[in-house]
Structure 1
Amino acid sequence: MESRRNLHKRNNRNNIILVLVGLVAVLALIFGVVAHNKRVQGEARARKFATTHFNPNVTIYGVKVGNLTVAKATKKINEKANNTASLVDNKVVLSRNAAKTTISSAEVAKYFKKQHTESPNNKTYTYESASLNEAKSKLTALDQASVEFKVNGKTYDLKAKDLVNKVEYQDGKFNFKDDKKLANKLEQIDRENTTIKKSYKFTVPSGSSVKGKTITVKNESYGWGVYVKKAREAVKEAFANGTKQLDGGNYLYGLGYSTYPHGYQESNHGIGQNYVVVSLKKQELWVVRHGQVAVHLTDVVTGTMTGDKSDQTPKGVWYIHYKESPSVLRGYNDDGSKYASKVQYWMPFTLSGCGLHDASWRTDWSKTAYLKGGSHGCVNIKPGEVKKVWDNVIKNEPVIVY
């Protein structure tokens, strides 16, 4: 049998073990409580952090804003993010315009609400710029745009990728930065088609017949050309809107008193069937209406041929600016003195002041009067004959002087 002494030792040892086990249990409990409290406190801090900071893996407009506040995220995005899309040499390029605000704090706050969780997590959140994506889409479509520009019976296929070097898209609008190629193309179209300052063969009347001899005439103020500036804007707008065809006839110009085009799509070399013809050599005038001679005068007097050349009636094709009755013609004589001549009918056709009118003061109506004693450049008509000219002449119709 175990001695009393050994039994006592074993009991003491067991008691020590029990004490140690109890102590360990108590310490474990204490450490567990401490750890739990720390975890609870950590979770509380994390939840509090999450109320003001983005989750770790958040990207807005290509900029990482993880663990940042709305204010700091806004600042970083505005400093780093691309905010401009451009089409440069047929490629969409993104860049940053420092003068432009990329995003507001209110917008960043909306993204914050979208990604917000009670506690931070490692999920990835990516938010792209809707306006930048729209710009990329619009610019890509623009690069493929083409327009048929129709003028003078011809069709020109204008393609954006060939004619636009640089264009931006922002705030819902295209901003063409470099369209010089488009301007050059339209200038080429103008040169190929304009009738201003162009010479051509034309048959003038003879006697009572509209078909006389054929001469070479040159358009001066009469005619039309492509209004490049206006057409340029129209083509760019068509590229932007997806318009497929443009009527070039809507983008023309003219010279002289009226800057509207004259003779576009008219027959007879653009002259049409209504016009006035003045022969300097014969000192005759014809008014043609509907392709027939309506008025033929054999005794008009044109500008003086000798002396100051500014008194000569200018050759070329012009047009009637307007009609005024009665009127007072004002100007300067060759000696510098002023004149003011009253006329009953006034039909100007040059900006320098030449026109058709009655001349009640004139006594010399001979065929040679114009050589030394003609007008200051106008076509003088006898008072008794001018009314039929007035009645048949139309505003904007061509006046051919040869």
Structure 2
Amino acid sequence: MSKKKKILIISGCAVGLLLACYVGVSVYFSKVFYPNTSINGVEVSYEQPEEIKAVLEQSMQRYEMKVATIDGTTETLSGKDFDFVYNFDEVDKLKAEEMGWLWPAKFFSQTDYEIEAVYEWNKEKLNKKIDELQCMTQEMTAPVNASLTVDDNGFNLVEEKKGNTLKKDVVKSEIAKAMGKGETEISLEAVGCYEEPEITIESPEIQDKLKKVDELCKAEITYNFHGNEEKIGIEQIRQWVRQNGDGEYYISEDAAYNYLCELANKYDTINSYRDFYSSRGYWITLEPGSYGWGTDVDSEIELLMDDIQNKRVTSREPIYYMTPYDYLDPNSPDDIGFTYIEIDLSGQYMWYYKDGELFLSTPITSGTLNTGHGTPSGVYYIHNRLQNIVLTGDDYRQPVNFWMKIVGGVGIHDSLWRSVYGGTEYLNSGSHGCINTPYDAVESLFWNTEIGTPVIMYY
């Protein structure tokens, strides 16, 4: 055999062998995936479809669906209870579309597949499990419509409430839809499974009424009650809205008046008890009297209603029928201040403080307690200062040199007919109610006090 022929035979055998190897490897890769291949992030090189499907199914076992309710609870549907399975037949399709003879090129490239599983379950079993959920079996609260009403307490705007009444068919449909996408949790509220109120706060029938009410409530009055602010705005005025027989809204003057009375009771000091640190060195509670702040509600209501009707925005002090001492120190912690007359009716003693300093002190004799002429206790003030007047009563007529009226027919005056002051004189031999004071003391007091000076009397 010639050399040339030998070479041809050897070359043919080599080519045939290579071709057989190529075909053999191609047949192999027609059954398994190429190297450098992944499906859904799982390495599948050299793996057969059935093996890959088993791995993928194992990675997605123990399927559960978390069901979140509007009440904030979460319940769980377990896939094993309704035969939930994954169908990865698309893996077979991927392999069928691959060409086994392209295997040489696949050694030098990366192939990543993403496939979606087909989720399957027993519909009847799933619906049965859904029906058994607590949110489906519990007593449900129906939604409540928004409302706007007006009654004796004024304006009442009630926002709508969703409740927790489920639309059961929608629940089953939405859960199935979520499972079909492979989702593992669902919010029943987010996907619209709850019954909704028909009327909300944004509904025209509510908004129209609200606009009519608020049109009456545009005023804003800020009161300054001796350093304390009280703002009357839309929220407060709404509570004074009433509705007449024709269905028209209006602002009730009576309701506004009652509210002003509440503010007066809160800030007025006339007719109120007070804590006071006495000259005896301890705290006492003073009874009410005629001194202090007193709001003139009858006059103020007219201004307030005018402000509301004209929708004014304003700030001011209320009208007072009584205010404290004109010379009250602005640094005083209360409305008595640092200039006042203090009378201890049990101890029969009087002190006068001027600008915080003791100006004078003296024994006194007050109204006869055992005859019913006892001097009234409380916080009062000097009404007037008169000289050389005659005090008259049913059984007496008595001239005095200095007179300072406190309350009613009770005042501070000199009493030259009396030689003894203090002690127990007031029990049986006191005055008809006045504060009998030694001449020198009452003269000094008269010339060093002003009308309006607070007078504190207590037992």
Is the partner of 2:263 in helix, strand or coil?
A: helix
Deviations, residues 218-239 of structure 1 (Å, cap 9, x unaligned): 2311122322222211112222
- In the superposition, relative to structure 1, how do residues 192 and 385 fare at CA in structure 2: closer, same or farther (>3 Å)? closer
Q: Which has the larger radius of gyration?
A: 2
Is the partner of 1:344 in helix, strand or coil?
A: strand
- 1:202-221 paired onto structure 2 within 5 Å: 202-206=276-280, 212-221=281-290
Q: TM-score, normalised by structure 1?
A: 0.54
Deviations, residues 150-196 of structure 1 (Å, cap 9, x unaligned): 324333332344424379xxxxxxxx883222112111111222212
Mapped partners of 2:259, 2:447: distance in 1: 44
Matched, 1:343 2:400: yes
Counterpart of 1:188 in structure 2 is 262
Deviations, residues 15-43 of structure 1 (Å, cap 9, x unaligned): xxxxxxxxxxxxxxxxxxxxxxxxxxxxx
> Which amino acid in structure 2 is aligned with residue 300 of structure 1?
I
Mapped partners of 2:294, 2:353: distance in 1: 25
- In the superposition, relative to structure 1, how do residues 340 and 266 fare at CA in structure 2: closer, same or farther (>3 Å)? farther
Maintained 8 Å contact 1:287/1:393: no
Cα deviation for residue 356 of structure 1 reads: 0.3
Show structure 1 runs of 4+ deviating over 6 A: none
Q: TM-score, normalised by structure 2?
A: 0.48
Counterpart of 2:391 in structure 1 is 329
Maintained 8 Å contact 2:289/2:378: yes
Q: 225, 231, 237: which is aligned to 2:306?
A: 237
Q: 148, 163, 169: which is aligned to 2:240?
A: 163
> Which amino acid in structure 2 is aligned with residue 262 of structure 1?
P
Counterpart of 1:301 in structure 2 is 365
Cα deviation for residue 364 of structure 1 reads: 3.0
Cα deviation for residue 358 of structure 1 reads: 0.3
Is the partner of 2:386 in helix, strand or coil?
A: coil
Deviations, residues 259-309 of structure 1 (Å, cap 9, x unaligned): x22369772431011100111222211111101111111x21111121x22
> Which amino acid in structure 2 is aligned with residue 180 of structure 1?
D
Matched, 1:200 2:274: yes
Mapped partners of 2:312, 2:218: distance in 1: 12
Is the partner of 1:325 in helix, strand or coil?
A: strand
> Which amino acid in structure 2 is aligned with residue 151 of structure 1?
F
Is the partner of 2:385 in helix, strand or coil?
A: coil
Maintained 8 Å contact 1:166/1:178: no
Deviations, residues 70-123 of structure 1 (Å, cap 9, x unaligned): xxxxxxxxxxxxxxxxxx989xxxxxxxxxxxxxxxxxxxxxxxxxxxxxxxxx
Q: 261, 267, 271: which is aligned to 2:332?
A: 267
- In the superposition, relative to structure 1, how do residues 349 and 166 fare at CA in structure 2: closer, same or farther (>3 Å)? farther
- In the superposition, relative to structure 1, how do residues 366 and 294 fare at CA in structure 2: closer, same or farther (>3 Å)? closer
Is the partner of 1:223 in helix, strand or coil?
A: coil
Identity of aligned residues (%): 28
Counterpart of 2:345 in structure 1 is 280
Counterpart of 1:42 in structure 2 is none
Cα deviation for residue 345 of structure 1 reads: 0.5
Q: 350, 374, 379: which is aligned to 2:430?
A: 374
Maintained 8 Å contact 2:218/2:311: no
Deviations, residues 321-378 of structure 1 (Å, cap 9, x unaligned): 111112111112xxxxx31111111001011x11100011223335222221111111
Q: 251, 262, 280: which is aligned to 2:319?
A: 251
Cα deviation for residue 141 of structure 1 reads: 5.2
Counterpart of 1:79 in structure 2 is none
Q: CA RMSD in A?
A: 3.0
Mapped partners of 1:141, 1:199: distance in 2: 42
Maintained 8 Å contact 1:294/1:392: no
Matched, 1:384 2:448: no
**Runs (5+) with no aligned partner, structure 1:** 1-87, 91-137, 168-175, 207-211, 254-259, 333-337
Counterpart of 1:84 in structure 2 is none
Maintained 8 Å contact 1:318/1:400: yes
Maintained 8 Å contact 2:213/2:241: no
**Runs (5+) with no aligned partner, structure 2:** 1-150, 156-211, 245-249
- In the superposition, relative to structure 1, how do residues 274 and 140 fare at CA in structure 2: closer, same or farther (>3 Å)? same
Mapped partners of 1:235, 1:216: distance in 2: 35
Mapped partners of 2:339, 2:243: distance in 1: 48
Cα deviation for residue 381 of structure 1 reads: 1.0
- In the superposition, relative to structure 1, how do residues 162 and 365 fare at CA in structure 2: closer, same or farther (>3 Å)? closer
